[in-house]
Amino acid sequence: MNYQNTLAYAQQQDNEDKLSYLRDKFHIPTDKKGNPWLYFTGNSLGLQPKTTQQYIQQELDDWAKFGVEGHFEAKNPWMPYHELLTNKMAKIVGAKPIEVVVMNTLTTNLHLLMVSFYQPTKTKFKIVIESDAFPSDRYAVESQLKFHGFNPKEALVEWSPRKGEELLHIEDLENILEKDGDAIALLLIGGLNYYTGQYLDLKRIAELGHAKNCMVGIDLAHGAGNIQPNLHESGVDFAAWCTYKYLNSGPGSLAGLFVHEKHANNKDLPRFAGWWNHNKETRFNMRQPFDVMPGAEGWQLSNPPILSMAAIRASLDMFDEIGMDALREKSEKLTGYFEFLINEIDTDRIKIITPTKTSERGCQLSIQVKNADKSLHQKLTDKNIITDWREPDVIRCAPVPMYNTFEDVFTMVSILKTLL
C-alpha cells in the first residue's frame, strides 16, 4: 500500500471507502459538547446499531400484545427465535448451521463445552492454555481441573512467549505436545489474543492437538466479527465467543457456541441437560425421557432471552448484508494505515507488539509505549480518543471497519504523537 501521512489522504480514503456509509448506522458517543468520540474500543464493547432499538421494540410490543402467545403469534415467534440467528452467525465464523447456536454467555459456554470435551483420565488430564489467556478463561480452566480433582499446578500447562518476547510461536506448542502430549487432554486457546492481538493458526493448532488425541477448543471472543476463523474447515472440536465486542450486540449479550459437525450426532458425549436441548418435536409433551438434539442446539439448556437475541439479530443482519470478506478487506487496509502512521512517529519509545502480517492479526493493534503510565491513556481520553490501557505500558486500540474512519486513525496518531 502507498499510504500517505496527511489528513487529505485519510479523507480521500474515507471518500473512496465503499463501506463508509455504515458509520451513520451507529450511535457514536460524544463528549459533553456533542463532539464525537474517536472510539477505538469496539474490542471491549461494540457500538450500538441504530436499528437495535426497533428490533427490541418489536419484541416488547409483541409481548405487550400477545403475552405468552407471543411464543407462536409474535411477528418473529419466540419459540424458534434463536433459529433466526443461526445461519448468519454460522457465516460469520465459517461454520455449518448445525455447528452453531447462540446461547448463554461466553464463560458459561466454555464450562458447558468442557463438560463434554474435557474427559480426563488418571494419565491424560492436562489442559494447555496460553500463558496470557484472558483471566476468565484461566479461572474457568482451573476450576474445571479442580472440579475433576486435579491440582492446576500440575495439570495446567502454559504455552508462553519466549523470553523477552510477547507473541507465541506455534513450534513451542508443538514442543509442549511432543514432550507432554500423552498427558494432555485438552487445548483451550484464545484464537485471537485479547492482549497482543495475535491471531493464531487454528487449523495447525487442531492438527497438532489431534495428532496427540487431545480435544481442541478455541475462545473466539476477539475473533468473531473481526477475522474469518473458518471454524468448520479448521477442524477444531469446539469454540465459543461473546457478541458484545465486535458483534455489537450490547453489554453482556448472549454468546455463540460452535461444536464441529463430527460431534453433531454423538449422543454419548457427556453433557448437561435441560428442556431446551431436548428434541424440539416432543419438547412440549413434557413427559418423554430426555432425547438430545443433534448439533450445537444439543448444548442449550434454557429458553433464551428474546430481548437480547433481538439485539443480536439487529447486528447480524448488518453483518449479513455486508459480509465478512468486505469487512476484512477494509479492516486490513484501515489497520495497515494505522500501523503505517504509528511507524512514522520518530521515536524509539513506541513498539507495536501485534504481528505485522495481516494474516496473523485482526483490526486491533497493541502499542507498547516505553516509560509511559496510565496518564497517557487519560490524556488521550481527555482528547476524546477512547482506547484501552493494559498495565504496565500497552495501549490497545481497535479501528473497527464498520464505524471507524481513516480520519479517526489519522487524528488519533497525530494526537498520540504530540502527547509523546
Ligand X SMILES: *Cc1c(COP(=O)(O)O)cnc(C)c1O
| Contact code string over 168-197 relative to ligand X, x by CB under 6 A | ----------------------x---x---
User: Toward ligand X, which CB reaches closer, 78 or 134?
Assistant: 134
Scan residues 348-387 and list those touching ligand X (CB under 6 A).
none
What is the nearest approach in angstroms of ligand X to the Cβ of residue 377?
19
Q: Which residues are annotated as a binding site for pyridoxal 5'-phosphate?
A: 106-107, 134-137, 219, 222, 244, 275, 303
Residue 359 in grid coordinates: 494474516
Q: How many whole angstroms separate alpha carbon 363 and alpha carbon 19?
A: 15
Residue 206 in grid coordinates: 487442531
User: Toward ligand X, which CB reaches closer, 136 or 414?
Assistant: 136
Q: Which of 101, 185, 221, 363 binds ligand X (CB under 6 A)?
A: 221
What is the nearest approach in angstroms of ligand X to the Cβ of residue 258?
15
Scan residues 194-213 and list those touching ligand X (CB under 6 A).
194
Other Cβ atoms less than 10 A from the Cβ of 1: the count is 8
What is the nearest approach in angstroms of ligand X to the Cβ of residue 129?
10
Are the C-beta atoms of 38 and 412 separated by less than 8 Å?
A: yes
Q: Name the residue among 325, 320, 404 with its Cα closest to residue 13.
A: 404
Q: Name the residue among 95, 109, 105, 97 with its Cα closest to residue 202.
A: 95
Scan residues 313-342 and list those touching ligand X (CB under 6 A).
none
Q: How many whole angstroms separate alpha carbon 184 and alpha carbon 128?
A: 7
Stretch that binds ligand X, among 54-62, 133-141, 196-204, 412-420 (CB under 6 A): 133-141
Q: Which of 5, 51, 136, 343 binds ligand X (CB under 6 A)?
A: 136
Is residue 222 involved in binding ligand X (CB under 6 A)?
Answer: yes
What is the nearest approach in angstroms of ligand X to the Cβ of residue 49?
20
Strands (E), 229-325: 238-242, 255-259
What is the nearest approach in angstroms of ligand X to the Cβ of residue 262?
24
User: Toward ligand X, which CB reaches closer, 13 or 253?
Assistant: 253
User: Toward ligand X, which CB reaches closer, 192 or 412?
Assistant: 192
Residue count (the chain): 420
What is the nearest approach in angstroms of ligand X to the Cβ of residue 287?
35
Are the C-beta atoms of 227 and 329 separated by less than 8 Å?
A: no
Stretch that binds ligand X, among 31-39, 56-64, 219-227, 408-416 (CB under 6 A): 219-227
Burial, 82: exposed, middle or buried (Cβ in 10 Å; 0-12, 13-18, 19+)?
buried
Scan residues 84-123 and list those touching ligand X (CB under 6 A).
105-107
How many CA atoms lie within 13 Å of 261's alpha carbon, on the beta-carbon side?
11
Amino acid at 173: L
Burial, 251: exposed, middle or buried (Cβ in 10 Å; 0-12, 13-18, 19+)?
exposed
Is residue 142 involved in binding ligand X (CB under 6 A)?
Answer: no
User: Toward ligand X, which CB reaches closer, 137 or 332?
Assistant: 137
Instruction: Report DSSP letters for 21-52, one per residue.
Output: GGGGGEEPPB-TTSPBPEE-BTTTSPPEETTH
Is residue 260 involved in binding ligand X (CB under 6 A)?
Answer: no
Scan residues 233-252 and list those touching ligand X (CB under 6 A).
242
**Strand duo 365-369 + 394-397: pairing:** antiparallel
| Contact code string over 47-86 relative to ligand X, x by CB under 6 A | ----------------------------------------
What is the nearest approach in angstroms of ligand X to the Cβ of residue 220?
8
Scan residues 263-322 and list those touching ligand X (CB under 6 A).
none
What is the nearest approach in angstroms of ligand X to the Cβ of residue 244?
7
Stretch that binds ligand X, among 3-11, 76-84, 87-95, 129-137 (CB under 6 A): 129-137
Instruction: Report DSSP letters for 86-147, one per residue.
Output: HHHHHHHHT--GGGEEEES-HHHHHHHHHHHH----SSS-EEEEETT--HHHHHHHHHHHHH
DSSP SS3 for 202: helix
Total number of residues binding ligand X (CB under 6 A)? 12
What is the nearest approach in angstroms of ligand X to the Cβ of residue 194?
4
User: Toward ligand X, which CB reaches closer, 10 or 254?
Assistant: 254
Are the C-beta atoms of 150 and 127 separated by less than 8 Å?
A: no
Query: Where along the sequence are the contacts to ligand X (CB under 6 A)?
Result: 105-107, 134, 136-137, 190, 194, 219, 221-222, 242
